[in-house]
Amino acid sequence: MYVTFPPPAPLAPYVRMFWAFEYQVPDGQPYVYRSLADGCAEMVFHYKSRFTELDGTCDQAAVLHAQTSRYRRFLTHGSFGIFGAYLYPSALPQLFGFSAGSFSNEMPELSAVCGAEGRWLEERVMTAKYHHQRVEILSGFLLRQLEKRKPAETAAHHAIKTIIKAQGMVNVTELAADLCLSARQFERNFKAYAGFPAKTYARIVRFQRAAAQYGRIEENLTALAYECGYYDQSHFIHDFKEFSGYHPRRYFSGRPEGIEYRD
C-alpha cells in the first residue's frame, strides 16, 4: 500500500507531499529496496521494521535522506511501514538553515540534524497510530520551522523551480543570464540551495522524468530518450545507468527492485 497526502497550504512551497508505504514481505524472504538519484530530499520514519543499507551503514529509525546523485540499496527481512515527507530541494536551507550542498548524498539521523527536537519528533511520529496523525505532527513541526526562519525567495529558488517545471530541459547559461548573475555567482547560489551544480541537477531531474515512465514496457528506448530531453539513446543509457544502476531496457522490461509503490 502506497498513499500520499497533500501538505497544508503554507508548506506547499517546501513540501511536495507526505507519503506512507507499507508492504507485506513473505516470511523468510528478503526485500531489497533501491532508491534512485533524486534532486529532492526526504524526511523518512521507519515505524515498522528497519532497513539496513547493503554496505551495512544504515539501520536508523528516522533519517534525513538528502538529495542524491547516486542509487543506494537497502535490505529488510520483514514486513515494513515507512512514513515520509518529500521536500523540495531548497527546503533544507529554507526550513533548517543548512546549505543543501553540505548534505548531498548523505543520510544522517534526524536527531543529528535537529538535536532534541529531532528526537522528540521521531518519538511522536513513530508512536502515532494513524497516518493522518503523522501528517499533523510533522506538519506542525515544519510550520514551526517556517515561522522561526521566515525564508525569503531568492534567484536560486527561481532557478530550481524553472528546472523542475522544464523537467530538466533548460540551458543553464541562459538561465543564469536571465537572472542577471555571473556564472560563478549562479553556481555558488544554486549549489547552496539545490545541493548540486545546476547542470548536474538538471540531469537528475531529466532522469527522474524518464524513471517515472515505468510501466511503458513496450516503449522504444530511442523515442523515450527524445521525449525526456536526451540528445540520443547513448546519453540516455549513460545517465540512466549512473543514476539507477540499471540499463534502461532492464528497468522498463523487467521488475526492478523496490518498485511496488509505483504499482
- CA 46-75-15 angle, to 5 degrees, is 40
Cα–Cα distance measured from residue 180 to residue 163, given in angstroms and rounded to the nearest whole number: 17
Q: Where are the domains of the chain?
A: 2-149, 155-262
The pLDDT, as a whole number, for residue 152 is 79
The pLDDT, as a whole number, for residue 260 is 66
Per-residue cell: 89: 530541494
Are the C-beta atoms of residues 110 and 43 closer than 8 Å to each other? yes
For residue 6, how far is the Cα from the chain centroid?
A: 16
The pLDDT, as a whole number, for residue 162 is 92
The pLDDT, as a whole number, for residue 217 is 60
In the chain, DSSP assigns E strands to: 2-5, 15-23, 31-35, 41-48, 52-53, 62-65, 72-76, 80-87
2-149: CATH topology is Jelly Rolls (2.60.120)
Are the C-beta atoms of residues 210 and 228 closer than 8 Å to each other? yes
pLDDT in tens, 162-176: 999 999 999 999 998
The pLDDT, as a whole number, for residue 261 is 61
The pLDDT, as a whole number, for residue 231 is 86
Per-residue cell: 57: 551503514
Pick the CATH number of 155-262 from 3.40.190.10, 1.10.10.60, 1.20.1260.10, 3.40.50.300: 1.10.10.60
Please state, as a whole number, how many other Cβ atoms lie within 10 Å of the Cβ of residue 189. 19
The pLDDT, as a whole number, for residue 218 is 60
Name the pTM for this structure.
0.89
pLDDT in tens, 72-85: 999 988 899 999 99
Cα–Cα distance measured from residue 6 to residue 141, given in angstroms and rounded to the nearest whole number: 16
The pLDDT, as a whole number, for residue 68 is 95
The pLDDT, as a whole number, for residue 159 is 92
The pLDDT, as a whole number, for residue 6 is 97
The pLDDT, as a whole number, for residue 57 is 66
Segments of the chain scoring below 50 in pLDDT: none
